[in-house]
A and B are shown apart, each in its own frame.
Chain A
Amino acid sequence: MMIDTEHKPVILLVEDNSFDVQLIQSALGRTPGEINLIRVEDGDKAVDYLAGISPFDDRETYPIPITMLLDIKLPKRSGFEVLQWLRSQGGPIRRLPTLMLTSSKHQVDINQAFERGANAYLTKPDSIKELTSLMGELKTFWLKRVEMPEVKR
């Protein structure tokens, strides 16, 4: 999986539920387009990854992602806190397109996510069919349609 990292765009998935990770991985696999999905399981690790703090300082293995899928309810640091940290950074990393992917449909959460600088808010679909089509749409939109900012230093 690591071999082709330089060629495959990296999506950073911040998700504590391994089953959800597996389902997302599976859904991504069913859609065209090569993606390297790298997963961290809590908010602190997400910050470490983006900041390049050991063990994530090896950018060969842990490249800067082109986008981040961020859950809200996470161990240690919540998705909102990660988002706030990200948007307050000095370097170009703060531009990283960030999509909330969560099971919460609460309006307060949705509002807060956008207030803190999320680029989209998605709820986890109930069926694998819907999840697959969501992942397909994401790939099409964010990897093909959207003109991406520079996020590397």
Chain B
Amino acid sequence: MSSAQGKTEVIRAPQAGTAVLTPNPLQSERVFRLLVESLSDYALFLLTPDGVVASWNPGAERMKRYKPAEIIGRHFSIFYVPGDLEARKPENELRMARETGRHEDEGWRLRKDGTRFWANVVITAIRDTDGQLLGFGKITRDVTDRREAELRYRLLIDGVTDYAIYSLDRHGNITSWNSGAQRIKKYSAEEIIGKHFSQFYTKEDAEAGLPAKVLHTAATTGHFEGEGWRIRKDGSKFWSSVVITPIRDEAGELVGFSKITRDVTDRMKLLEKIQHHADELEIRVAERERTNAELEAFSYSVSHDLRSPLRAIEGFTDIVLTDYGSQLPEPVLGLLQNVVQSATRMNRLVEDLLNYGRLGRIEIESAPVSVAAAVKAACEQIDENLRDEIKSAVDPSFQVSANLATLTQSLFNLIANGLKFYPPGQKPHVDVSASREKGDIVVRIKDEGIGIEPQHLERIFQVFERLHGDQLYPGTGIGLAIVKRGINRIGGKVWVESKPGKGSSFFISLPAA
């Protein structure tokens, strides 16, 4: 009521409509009564020492629905709910007010129509100058809305079980505790409220002064966010993700902190697992790189060391044939020819195997390649005598994402194959064509040769797979394997369709560029 001083000019009687100012206004009983009557949000009334209602303001009427005539003279216990009456609450409250001068309470109260509202009640003992109890002043506020909001808020906070939400005073002592906090940290509210939050930290973190540091950070920057190990009641550890926000009063004074903690141990473990896998992968890659380097060194020495004796075999046999051929009997000449042929074949085998091996290891860079240009380059490598037997009809605008050298090598192998597998004596012929199919360009290399039995179609792309003796159709058995590996490495596909006796068609499909 003292706060009303200095605000007199705004005080109006509800019905009067005009400001009432007397020469000594604040001491006027009338002004005081007007003030009381203007407080429509407060029920403000007097009780006799026994608790009988002695006055009634419009706020009381509005809140409790009784008219002054209906209520004045009745005992105030009429406002209490049956449970409170049984607990003798009205008497107790008056006693408390009498003993301490003032009693404050919140609880359900009844309106005239029997409906309830949540009331904030202050009962003040009124005494005369001798200390004689004259009665009680009672101020009641309807705070049902606030209570509901608080209740909703509390239910909301408490309903959050995945997050520990709790508050600290400004020293770090726990002042509230939700069910999520209980679930995550295993302490009940009763056990933990009033304790310092540093007990959740590991010994090392606590000794390092981390709890004080995080509060300091939150207080000075307005926010703290972090992750770390925390300890549950049972001593077990969990990896937490924490957000701390300072709570300040209207004056900006720090009153405490709100703290939201999440148990992200699973995520941490997942991350650790991923990290572990990543580390392992790195080791594997390093191993693979080492293996690749070893293989590279191996293939280097194969090409250098393995081939030099072959060169010697071939060279010396050739010298014998050239320089002494005339002195040798015919069968010896034939046998020596076989030696030369074998050495030549061995040379080609080594060369093909090296190419095949290298295709598996090296980085092959893809770039837009003209199919027609690759076909042309492949044809130029074909034996001059056979080149006229190739008919190529490729749209010059067709571009694929590929590596020119790899594609050319593959096309050469397929064209050479097509020309090779004809019955002896028959003139070979190969058609090269290309078509666009969705996002791919499909190149077809078609012959009308001996064809392939269906049961062999799978095998022919494997290393050293040969379907014929080398007398009739010489070869290393690596050519198609090189095609398959090479085309696969540049993101394409290879397949074959064939009819025995009619011919075969090999297909290369590559993404159009």
- Which A residues contact B (CB, under 8 angstroms)? 17, 19-20, 22-23, 26, 73, 102-106, 124, 126-129, 131
Contact = CB atoms under 8 A, between A and B. Distances in A.
A105 B347 CA distance: 14
Greatest chain B CB density within 10 A among A103, A106, A131 is at A103
Decide if the interface of chain B is mainly helix, strand, loop or mixed: helix
B436 interface: no
> Nearest 3 pairs between A and B by C-beta?
A19-B312, A128-B318, A23-B315
A26 B319 contact: yes
Given A104-B300, A106-B300, A128 B315 contact: yes
B304 A126 contact: no
B361 to A, nearest CB: 13
Contact of A104 (B303, B310, B312, B315): B303
Nearest to A106: B300
A137 B149 CA distance: 102
A126 B347 contact: yes
Interface of B: 300, 303-304, 307-312, 314-316, 318-319, 322, 344, 347
Contacts of B310: 126
Contacts, number: 50
Contact of A126 (B300, B311, B319, B322): B311
Nearest to B348: A126
Given A26-B319, A104-B303, A127 B308 contact: no
B311 A20 contact: yes
A88 B7 CA distance: 104
Contacts of A129: 318
Given A26-B319, A104-B303, A126 B308 contact: no
Contacts of B315: 19, 23, 26, 127-128, 131
B371 to A, nearest CB: 26
Given A20-B308, A103-B307, A127 B300 contact: no
B303 A105 contact: yes
A49 to B, nearest CB: 23
Contacts of A17: 308, 312
Nearest to B321: A128
A100 B322 CA distance: 28
Given A126-B344, A129-B318, A23 B304 contact: no
A26 B316 CA distance: 10
Given A126-B344, A127-B318, A128-B319, A23 B300 contact: no
Given A126-B347, A128-B315, 20 more contacts: A17-B312, A19-B309, A19-B311, A19-B312, A20-B308, A20-B311, A23-B311, A23-B312, A23-B315, A26-B315, A26-B319, A103-B303, A103-B304, A103-B308, A104-B303, A124-B311, A126-B310, A126-B311, A127-B314, A128-B319
Contacts of B309: 19
Contacts of B312: 17, 19-20, 23
A148 B303 CA distance: 34
10 contacts: A17-B308, A19-B309, A19-B311, A22-B316, A23-B311, A103-B303, A103-B307, A103-B311, A126-B347, A128-B318
A92 to B, nearest CB: 33
Contacts of A73: 304
Nearest to A17: B308
Contacts of B311: 19-20, 23, 103, 124, 126
A131 B303 CA distance: 18
A73 B303 CA distance: 12
A22 B320 CA distance: 13
Contacts of A26: 315, 319
A23 B347 CA distance: 17
A19 B314 CA distance: 11
Contacts of A103: 303-304, 307-308, 311
